[in-house]
Amino acid sequence: MLTIFNNFNLVKFIPNTIAIKGKTLKNNIETSCVVRCYDRITGEMVSSTISDVNGNFILFGSRENKNYVLAVDSEEKYNIVVQDMISG
């Protein structure tokens, strides 16, 4: 199972954005995969990255609206997972 470690740390960064820090795990093992952040109201993708080999990532999100973060399994064995309602 692909999961997003949901202990996000939010840090104010530049006007109208927040930094979102997290970790991706597959079957409870740290894994690298594509991670994207979307504005929950507009649906616009705010940022995208690839988590490192330890599963760590930092994304930028909207400060104005809530965000959702999704992780994509690069091996396509598991569904996309989402962490919703992220705000700063």
Strands 45-50 and 34-39: antiparallel
- Report the percentage of the chain scoring pLDDT > 90: 76
Sort residue 64 into left (φ over 0), alpha (ψ -120 to 50) or beta. Answer: alpha
pLDDT of residue 12: 45
Total domain count, the chain: 1
Residue-number span of the structural domain to which 67 is assigned: 2-86
Q: Tell me how many degrees the CA angle 11-63-4 measures, rounded to the nearest 5.
A: 60
3-46: per-residue pLDDT in tens?
555 555 554 455 788 999 999 999 999 999 999 999 999 999 99
pLDDT of residue 22: 94
pLDDT(78) > 90: yes
Contacts with 56 (C-beta within 8 Å, 6 or more apart), sequence order:
21, 22, 23
Report, as an integer, the average pLDDT of 57-67.
94
The CATH code of the domain that includes 66 is: 2.60.40.10
pLDDT(80) > 80: yes
pLDDT of residue 67: 97
